[in-house]
Amino acid sequence: MKWIICLVLTVLPAFVVAQSLTVLPEDVSLRVEVEETIDMPVEREMIIIRILGTYNRHITLESLQQPDLQGFNWSQLGPDRWWEERIEGRLMKRFERKMALYPDTPGKLTIGTFTHNLTLTDEGDDWFDYQVLSDPVSIEVAPAPAGEDWWFPVRRLRISDKWSNTPDQLVPGEGVLRIVQIEALGVTPEMIPPMPELTSPSAMIFAHPEKRLVELSPQGPVTRAFWRWTIRPTNDTSAIVEPISFTYFDTTERAHREVVISAQRIAYNAGPTPQARSEVVVIPPSGRLPGLGVMALGLIVLAGGVLWGVWGRQFDALRAMQRFAIFDPLRRQLRRAVRAGDARAARRAAAAILKRDGTERVSVGSLRQLDRQIFAPGAAQFDLHAFLRDLDGQRQRADTNG
């Protein structure tokens, strides 16, 4: 009898522990769901999968271990999600992870086993480790078409073409920034075609470094690429920027498409030929000018007549005064920028003088070297003081010849 009692006392605790560590199959499950599509996916096309877990146990710790995913590139679409759901009358814990897979090669590919490492709690509130495994899943992948320069399968594509200024109404000597934005759903940044070369037979084009950003969404990665160029006509009138194009495969409509961004005219807005300015005198509401107003008006008219006689009919009094930098706000602005060494501010002031006075007093060619200093990377240091002397010399020669 003593021997039987000892045996019971030895075996019973182990039996109780085994009972407490038993996890029934209907209490835990893990599976991989592949998004259903009518057509067979093509090489590099996004395939969305969901790793789904269902649990009827108290979980203290967890971590999902994914397989090597050989033959795929992949991206996880956001953080894991946990929630509770009633299934067949029982309140269950649900787990979900969404991933985007991109097959590298055609043929039959296998998504290996995912392992959910869990730390569960038994009836005695003791912790123990448990693993839940998913079954492997196989998919068939079609090859990409041969002869494509850049195979670009995408679910949704949006393109915008924006300009910093109206491209055919530029101020003489001014450049314009062009930004083409590509927004693609279902691709990672390296899948978007490389930035094309923008060409023109008669324009100076500076390409800026390309930018690519990615944002994760439940529908897949959304990648945005920014192609940027600064463009300026090399002549005094206009230039044509040639079109750019690329192809892509619409995975929603299962169709090959071509994007063509049309040619664009870049032109200076010459505007009317500069004319003599006239001043407007505002009459008071009474219709009469007071005595002091009459005297002041007479002095203004007398001064204007003297200046008109000295400088000739082709210049008005304001133009004559503007020969001196102290009376010309634009020239004062230009000189301040030169003293400060601010090339961009100097260029804005010079362009404003050019628009006001015309090309007979300020040559468009004088701004080109300054543009290269501002826009061209690695350009030699530009002498702003020499640029100012050159503009002053052109102005003096124009006044002497006039």
| More confident site: 165 or 399 | 165
Q: How far apart are the first and last CA of the chain?
A: 135
Mean pLDDT of 43-72: 96
Q: What is the mean pLDDT of the chain?
A: 80
- The yes-or-no verdict on residue 317 having pLDDT over 50 is no
| Tens digits of residue pLDDT in 86-106 | 998 899 999 999 999 999 999
> In terms of pTM, does the model score above 0.85?
no
Q: How confident is the model at residue 238 (pLDDT cuts 50, 70, 90)?
A: confident
What tokens does 57 get?
């146990």
How far is Cα 97 from Cα 116, in angstroms, rounded to an integer?
Answer: 11
pLDDT value of residue 278: 29
Collapsing DSSP to helix, strand or coil, 94 comes out as strand
pLDDT value of residue 20: 44
For the CA atoms of 116, 121, 123, 124, the dihedral, rounded to the nearest 10 degrees, stands at: 150
Collapsing DSSP to helix, strand or coil, 317 comes out as helix
CA 271 to chain centre: 34
pLDDT value of residue 180: 97
- The yes-or-no verdict on residue 312 having pLDDT over 50 is no
238, 264 in Cβ contact below 8 A?
no
| Tens digits of residue pLDDT in 247-300 | 999 999 999 999 999 999 999 875 543 333 323 233 334 444 444 444 554 555
CATH class of 22-141: mainly beta
| More confident site: 15 or 224 | 224
Q: Which residues contact 3 (CB under 8 A, 6 or more apart)?
A: none
- The yes-or-no verdict on residue 108 having pLDDT over 70 is yes
Domain ranges of the chain: 22-141, 153-267, 323-401
What tokens does 7 get?
């045996």
How far is Cα 139 from Cα 121, in angstroms, rounded to an integer?
Answer: 37
pLDDT value of residue 182: 97
